[in-house]
Amino acid sequence: MHEQTCLIEVVTEQTVAAITTLSLELWPNSNYDEEKSQWEELMHAADNYCAVAKIHDEYVGFIHISIRYDYVEGTEADNTAYLEGIYVSPNYRKKQIATALLASGEAWAKAKGLNQLASDTEIENQISQLFHQQAGFTEVSRLVCFVKTIQ
């Protein structure tokens, strides 16, 4: 069995439905129409990189990187590339698709003059933490968030 070729495509009007569907796999509590509207805005924004991974005729993953212009924990510059989301459908994991998506996003960020990529994940999301470590990210801090209902 040979490896299937993975193509990385920047999101366009033709692929916005694909990234919307994939994002609902990652964020199942989201609304399709709201997600689609957001992707339609993001794909035209110069400070956002949105791409999908395609194998044959099937879209199997996506990445979204933004440029954040305020302080990002652990970074050196004011402007930082930020990994907002990366996802590969379960049947296509461990095939270097996320690596290809990340490499495309890093190339975009570098072309924008950025030299750091930051990210975050929930403290209980061990799969995401492992991905980040294997992708070369260094953990810079942990955060515990609190909320109190005021009576």
Q: The domain that contains 119 carries what CATH number?
A: 3.40.630.30
Min mean pLDDT across 62-66, 105-109, 146-150 is at: 146-150
SS3 146: coil
Domain residue limits at 54: 6-134
β partners of residue 35: none
> What confidence tens digit (pLDDT) does each residue in 68-119 have?
998 788 888 789 999 999 999 999 999 999 999 999 999 999 999 999 999 9
Q: Please report, to the nearest 10 degrees, the dihedral formed by the alpha carbons of residues 100, 61, 89, 96 taken in order.
A: 0
The answer as to whether 1 is a domain residue is: no
The answer as to whether 151 is a domain residue is: no
Structure tokens at 52: 């999908």
The answer as to whether 140 is a domain residue is: no
- How many structural domains does the chain have? 1
The answer as to whether 18 is a domain residue is: yes
The answer as to whether 11 is a domain residue is: yes
Give the global pTM: 0.89
Those residues with Cβ within 8 angstroms of residue 10's Cβ, 6 or more apart along the chain or in another chain = 43, 49, 50, 51
The answer as to whether 68 is a domain residue is: yes
Nearest to 117 by CA among 69, 77, 82: 82
The answer as to whether 147 is a domain residue is: no
Contact criterion met (CB below 8 Å) for 62 and 53 = yes
Structure tokens at 104: 């495309």
Sequential DSSP letters for 43-86? TT-TTEEEEEEEETTEEEEEEEEEEE-S--TT-SSSSEEEEEEE
Q: Is the pLDDT of residue 129 over 80?
A: yes
Which burial class, exposed, middle or buried, applies to 86 when counting CB atoms under 10 A from its CB (0-12, 13-18, 19+)? buried
